[in-house]
Homo-oligomer: A and B are copies of this chain.
Amino acid sequence: MQEAIQEILKKNQLSVTGSRVKILELFLDQPGALAHGDIERKTGEKFDRVTVYRTLQVFLNKGIIHSIPTADNSVLYALCKDDCGEGHHHDNHVHFVCDKCGNTVCLDEVTVPAIRLPRGYKFSQVQVVINGKCKDCTRE
């Protein structure tokens, strides 16, 4: 785990600091997305609020994480896959928000279907956010 974190930071020419390591740990520890508030709460005693903001901003710029738009307009962040680079995102995968447990996950295995745009429109990025019940919550 620690090696993976070091590698991510090195690859992006970022120095290895407490807050960066801790925040990456949080992302690696669980499969879903994290709200800014979640991160702040889980690191609040160790790092300043401002540091969390700045760290997430750096991760966003470097393409280590991406933000997820949700129907209730809260801000979520999730780890990007390996093929994301600076200013160059491959995050046109599907995001799934469970209405029951509230978890948000990236469904990497689901590909976004081609969408036919009207004449004159050119797309650069397609974000799909699906609300519903996740596989854990449909069992009950």
Contacts of A69 in B (CB 8 A): 69-71, 73, 127, 129
CB–CB B115/A121 < 8 A: no
Q: How large is the interface on A (under 10, 10 to 19, 20 to 34, 35 or more residues)?
A: 35 or more
Chain B residue contacts of A138, Cβ below 8 A: 120-122
Contact of A71 among B67, B122, B123, B134 (CB under 8 A): B67
A139 on the B face (CB < 8 A): yes
How many copies make up the complex?
2
Instruction: Name A125's contact: one of B113, B114, B131 (CB within 8 Å).
Output: B131
Cβ-defined partner of A131 (8 Å) among B70, B119, B124, B130: B124
Which residues of A come within 8 Å of B, CB atoms?
67, 69-75, 94, 96, 99, 107, 109-110, 112-136, 138-139
